[in-house]
Chains A and B, each alone.
Chain A
Amino acid sequence: MSSLRILVPVKRVIDYAVKPRVNSSQTAIQTAGVKHSMNPFDELSIEESVRIREKKRYVHGVDEIVAWTCGPTKSLDVLRTAMAMGADRGVHVEVQEGQEVEPLGIAKLLKQVVDRENINLILLGKQSIDSDASQTGPMLAGLLGWSQATQASKITFEADGKGVLVEKEVDGGTETVRGTLPMIVTTDLRLNEPRYASLPNIMKAKKKKVEKLAVGETGVELSGRLKMKKVVEPPPRQGGGKVEDVDGMIAKLKELGAI
């Protein structure tokens, strides 16, 4: 068996703490001038990959950690962050600002990378916090015909170098499955606590290699299947005001028919 070659796809999204605003033409979310950062679930993927290497959790070691992203020029930032956290190099498939590639397209692009880079473990976030689709990981697993484990809260490698035990968050608790390499795992929030990139590592990351590709160079045909017809703000909730005490609360809840 060979060592691990880990692929970690990352996505640049509007920062999780920012409240998104719908643009005036109701066609999309305003992104210009809004703080962006790495999708939080992708930080967990990078962290886990680096820990697998640092803690020597896999018997044959880790050969390489490749961070990958598809997005506009600015997405280079999240690749740099991934490399500052410990990824060895980056691959950037560049698309135009504002072009959103659907999960199926991303999965197809990733399949090409996997084939080319001889990858045997892919760690993805369970969802991106902008489109909230939760699709890319299982789609890629389907295209590759690989084992998959979604919403991982713990990843353990068996001594034989093949078996991978993954504890998954499921409705009502957790479930453990045993997959075999090559494998796809999507990360849940409980998996780990991502590190902050230190300044020296941020400086070092600037020297790490990033391969830039245009979609045309990947040989993947991207055809959008979903047309965004409209984006609107959800109907606002009216805070019903406050009550003075517990009796007031009970009375109001009764009035509203909630108890």
Chain B
Amino acid sequence: MISRSGTSVVRHVRTQLRIKSGSSASQPALARLLSSLAVLEQKGGKLNNGSLGAVTAAKKLGGSVTAFVAGGNIIEVAEAASKVSGIEKVVSVDNAAYEKQLPENYAPLLVENIKKGGYTHIIMGHTAFGKSLMPRVAALLDVQQISDITGIENEHTFVRPIYAGNAIATVESSDNIKIITIRGTAFAPAEAEGGSASIEDGSDPKADSTTEWVSENLAKSDRPDLATAGKIVSGGRGLKSKEEFDGIMLPLADALGAAVGASRAAVDSGYADNSLQVGQTGKVVAPQLYLCAGISGAIQHLAGMKDSKVIAAINKDADAPIFQVADVGLVGDLFDKVPELTEKLGKQ
């Protein structure tokens, strides 16, 4: 016991000494060594502002922040990125081959630019593209990626949820290059204005892609985007049919100016589109208000919404687990309560 506490005291003193002696000299040196590359997403010549959370995470690390964009006619996207607050330099690669974000050629492209730029941290959103691209990049660099982080302790140590958010792990990486995807809701997008970064052409290895893009089928909606919405109304199995889902949840969403989400049960039953699924295997959201009806609150669903500021729930089962996390719970039949709520909100 004595010897153990003895060592810990020594360690403690050493740490103190290191901080004292190093605080003035080594901190700026460290910051100079650290350089992050934020990989930004674009679509059809438009910068995806949701991807600017990567810039925020890079800024938290300290050190220089470079942004990376690639695609056909990339100049507009690069210019938009250059205005983002906190970015020193934008590396852009103009080649239509990268327009469809295929990991087979985008990964070698990124690897070449990472090697050329000597970045220590590569950061991207844990989006569909981030999830398909970054592990491929990590494997090519022989690095163990750190996925979906929600916090940064220091340049080696990161916080991420595991087990559907039922546990929070702190992990330390020993890799020289850190490949990181971030949880969008944990890092607000950087300001799109106020920056004045230089734009520079990146290198283009022109690798072939063994897959080709064929088509897409995107759900069109005038409502706010689910991933970034300030308010979300979400429906579950309790809605009983697609007609009821549309007839009951959509007016409520419009009354609140909210995005629409759904539980897996609602999606599997065909009440709502797959892209609206909130949960461990769908989208992770953290709006100001998450108002759900007919959702019991399975752990897989809670994984996707329990960081919301305010959770409100309407469910006829008073024992539904959703009430254990809801700030405001109303026990009642959603077919009565939701239309009443919609009407009363509309009058305000």
Chain A contacts to B: CB under 8 angstroms: 14, 16-17, 19-20, 22, 29, 102-104, 107, 126-127, 129-143, 145-151, 153, 165, 168-180, 188-190, 224-234, 237, 239-250, 252-253, 256-259
Are B329 and A240 closer than 8 Å at their CB atoms? yes
Partner of B210, one of A138, A170, A180: A180
B-chain residues with CB within 8 Å of residue A177 when the two chains form the complex: 102, 211-214
CB contact under 8 A between A246 and B161, given known A176-B214, A225-B143: no
B302, chain A: closest CB distance, angstroms: 9
13 pairs of residues in contact across A and B, judged by CB atoms under 8 Å: A129-B280, A130-B163, A141-B104, A142-B137, A148-B104, A149-B211, A170-B128, A174-B216, A231-B167, A231-B168, A237-B311, A240-B329, A257-B288
Are A233 and B147 closer than 8 Å at their CB atoms? no
Partner of A258, one of B225, B310, B330: B310
Partner of A104, one of B102, B139, B163, B280: B139
Assembled-state Cα–Cα distance A176/B133 (Å): 16
Partner of B163, one of A29, A143, A172, A250: A29
A-chain residues with CB within 8 Å of residue B166 when the two chains form the complex: 19-20, 233-234
Partner of A142, one of B135, B147, B227, B326: B135
Interface residues of B, dominant DSSP: mixed
A13, chain B: closest CB distance, angstroms: 9
CB contact under 8 A between A134 and B135, given known A103-B145, A177-B211, A240-B328: yes
B329, chain A: closest CB distance, angstroms: 4
B-chain residues with CB within 8 Å of residue A133 when the two chains form the complex: 145, 147-148
Task: Name which residue of chain A comes closest to B111, CB basis.
Answer: A142
Assembled-state Cα–Cα distance A230/B171 (Å): 7
Are B218 and A173 closer than 8 Å at their CB atoms? yes
Are A225 and B175 closer than 8 Å at their CB atoms? yes
A129, chain B: closest CB distance, angstroms: 6
Assembled-state Cα–Cα distance A153/B256 (Å): 32
Q: A172-B275, A240-B326 are known contacts; what are 11 more A-B pairs with Cβ within 8 Å?
A: A138-B103, A138-B132, A141-B139, A151-B131, A175-B215, A190-B274, A225-B174, A239-B325, A242-B318, A248-B330, A258-B288
Q: Mark contacts of B120-147 with chain A using CB atoms, 8 A cut-off: 1 yes-contact digit, 0 otherwise.
A: 0000001111011111111110111111
A-chain residues with CB within 8 Å of residue B161 when the two chains form the complex: 132, 234
Assembled-state Cα–Cα distance A259/B255 (Å): 11
A-chain residues with CB within 8 Å of residue B330 when the two chains form the complex: 242-246, 248-249
